[in-house]
Structure 1
Amino acid sequence: MKLVVLGLSLSSSWGNGHATTYRSLLRAFAARGHEVLFLERDVPWYGGRNRDLAEPDFCRLAFYDDLAGLDGFRGEVAAADAVVVGSYVPEGRAVGAWAQGHARGVAAFYDIDTPVTVAALERGDCEYLAPELIPGYALYLSFTGGPMLGRLAEEFGSPGPRALYCCVDEGRYRPWTGEKRFDLSYLGTYSDDRQPVLERLLIEPARRAPHLSFCVAGPQYPATIDWPANVTRFEHVGPADHPEFYGVSRFTLNVTRADMVRAGWSPSVRLFEAAACGTPIISDPWDGQGEIFRDGRDILVARDGDAVLGALTRMGEAERSALGAAGRARLLEAHTAGHRAAELEGYIAEAGLR
């Protein structure tokens, strides 16, 4: 197949999880013998030192300056078997209309933030997707499964809503054999809706257990946050360093955005990354989680700081290691980039026959 993707970013992982997702998925898709062109809007905040993959070896990466700049790729879009437009693409409404107008193969929308998108559509202020575009996408590839797929079909007229959960390249994310530095870590960009959960499940336990070590990595955290002395802060950890980040942590925390908790069936890419590294995960609860990782066997679900501190202080090393190994085994069973690439290939082939 020839695939063209218009996504938020492939070249820069700074402050977004899209790049990590696209890299693992498209690398695996190309490994199946397919040709991929990724078109990225050239914006200053993803350029310069923040551009950590300027020349991928698994696809062709090209930049465009504005909507007029897309016209130079009109022929390649027309010749592609499938054209995928991602969520949060700058001027995504216009980009989507342009893609649908020129695509002769399957036109698809890839939503890495489905509950956020649907909430914005309901409010009438979604900047990257218009309701009238949804029926024109033969596929609506969603990071969220479960009941959300029915809503996309029934309320928004999608002819092909399909779950395409995030994934990880298990060859690049592997268990770490070095020493542990942190009892509990968290990796994620600041968001208002996640912060109360981070306070409850990491910052409060850190205050209550000054003898333990914690770490929070990610950009955009306000200077007004009162970090306990035993919480180490990193402004940014690039994808190449994620395995080590997880590896030096006895446990890592997964915190889910509020819209995704309400929708359920919305696993984050950080969840899969940590599992691939064999790092035991403590997660906030959400519906559908048991279909991804089993509570108490592959992952621990915590509703408050007491549950977090119980895991950190009472779980023995053998039990902790077994939990991490079980999480990795589950990842290898169903959630690798290879699994997702095969699903994407099948969805495109199916839509092409309709």
Structure 2
Amino acid sequence: MRIAFYGSSLLSAYWNGAATYYRGLLRELAARGYQTTFYEPDAFDRQSHRDIDPPDWARVMVYPATETAARAVIARAAEADVVVKASGVGVFDDLLLEGVMAAARPQAVKIFWDVDAAATLTELRHGPELPLRRMLPGLDLVLTYGGGPPVIAGYQTLGARACRPIYNALDPETHHPVAAEAGFAGDLNFLANRLPDRETRMERFFLEPAARLPERRFLLGGAGWDDKPMPSNVRRLGHVGTADHNAVNCSALAVLNVARDSMADVGFSPATRVFEAAGAGACLITDAWEGVELFLRPGDEVLVARDGQEVAEQLAALTPPRARAIGEAARRRVLSEHTYARRGDEVDALLRREVAAKRERSLA
């Protein structure tokens, strides 16, 4: 089965947190017989920050970030059995959405794949003129990065035929325990790019604990933080490629996850970092969001904090043996229940069901 997938980038995780999500899922679909062509624009300096070479489990077509080039790749949607437009491509999103769905063959399965569903739903509720709002009833599926029951209900209220969360997960071949590295040593390590809808929560859950615990070492990786005032015990790494994520996760007493505002408000939206850290056997401290217990058990497999004071208290009380026990328990849980192999089974079943349903409707 051929998939035409229009997304931000498969080759680069630079300012592109969805990259490892796409990789994990598409690799698993390839193992199930799918042939994916991933169309990504040469935008936001991502191609000069590639962190993987073109893989053998997907064909990647990089096109110039121009309208002419976008229209050229849009036409290729007619070749596919499944056409996917992901949210957040960053250039020509509306043009791509309208174009690829119009170019798709009548019998092709048409999917909008939302990697920031809570924020998208807010835009759609306040923008009845948006192309996606108008097109939702004509799409076969909306798949989302997370969001649980609130996101499902939100999309169905706006006219989607069906909405299904396909949660982030672990690829144990890429994220796993490694030896600690002195250059990444810290008491609390945090990987996140600077985004407007995360910055206030980052201040509360990372900078405030750093100020409360001046004797502890805090390590911050991610792009965009260069001019952000920070306590002197915070060390900035800048952009950290995915090849170093395991070492960052394995070199700290604990690692931090901070949800973006919209995902924290809706809940049921574990970030990729949650599963990557757990897969490396790291002790994870996460800000509180509804549904966390569906993925990791608070207190035993993850530490949950409601504010910066609780982060500081948990970090101050954390011993290396307890941190190892929590990290090992988290790794066992995600290997058992939250791998991309399991997510691949979900998507495979959904696609086969949709293809069969469209075939039956065409024969009726």
TM bucket normalised to smaller: over 0.9
Q: What is the alpha-carbon distance in structure 2 between the residues aligned to residue 15 and residue 74 of structure 1?
A: 24
Partner of 1:212: 216
On the 8 A contact 2:211/2:231 being kept in 1, the answer is: yes
Q: What is the alpha-carbon distance in structure 2 between the residues aligned to residue 145 and residue 107 of structure 1?
A: 21
Matched, 1:176 2:178: yes
Greater displacement, 190-199 / 68-77: 68-77
Partner of 2:148: 145
Partner of 2:56: 57
The alpha-carbon deviation at position 291 of structure 1 amounts to 1.0
Describe the superposition over 1:116-166 as per-residue Cα deviations: whole angstroms up to 9, x where unpaired.
111111232998x52012122211001222221022112x11112011112
Partner of 2:47: 47
The alpha-carbon deviation at position 61 of structure 1 amounts to 0.5
- Equivalent residue pairs, number: 350
Give runs of aligned pairs for residues 177-326 of structure 1, distance below 5 A: 177-178=179-180, 181-221=185-225, 223=227, 225-326=228-329
Greater displacement, 54-63 / 318-327: 54-63
Partner of 1:334: 337
Partner of 1:7: 7
Gapped regions of structure 2 (runs ≥ 5): 358-364
Q: What is the alpha-carbon distance in structure 2 between the residues aligned to residue 244 and residue 114 of structure 1?
A: 30
Q: What is the alpha-carbon distance in structure 1 between the residues aligned to residue 74 and residue 321 of structure 2?
A: 57
On the 8 A contact 1:100/1:136 being kept in 2, the answer is: no
Q: What is the alpha-carbon distance in structure 2 between the residues aligned to residue 47 and residue 188 of structure 1?
A: 20
Partner of 1:161: 163
Gapped regions of structure 1 (runs ≥ 5): none
Q: What is the alpha-carbon distance in structure 1 between the residues aligned to residue 98 and residue 220 of structure 2?
A: 39
The alpha-carbon deviation at position 72 of structure 1 amounts to 4.5
- TM-score after normalising by structure 1: 0.93
Greater displacement, 278-287 / 214-223: 214-223
On the 8 A contact 2:219/2:236 being kept in 1, the answer is: yes
Q: What is the alpha-carbon distance in structure 1 between the residues aligned to residue 152 and residue 14 of structure 2?
A: 30
- TM-score after normalising by structure 2: 0.90
Q: What is the alpha-carbon distance in structure 2 between the residues aligned to residue 85 and residue 126 of structure 1?
A: 19
On the 8 A contact 2:75/2:100 being kept in 1, the answer is: no
Describe the superposition over 1:207-245 as per-residue Cα deviations: whole angstroms up to 9, x where unpaired.
22222111111111261x321111110110011111111
On the 8 A contact 1:96/1:133 being kept in 2, the answer is: no
Taking every aligned residue pair, what percent have the same amino acid on both sides?
A: 33
On the 8 A contact 2:51/2:243 being kept in 1, the answer is: no
1:4 aligned counterpart, secondary structure: strand
Matched, 1:133 2:135: yes
On the 8 A contact 2:285/2:311 being kept in 1, the answer is: yes
1:45 aligned counterpart, secondary structure: coil
The alpha-carbon deviation at position 267 of structure 1 amounts to 1.0
1:149 aligned counterpart, secondary structure: helix
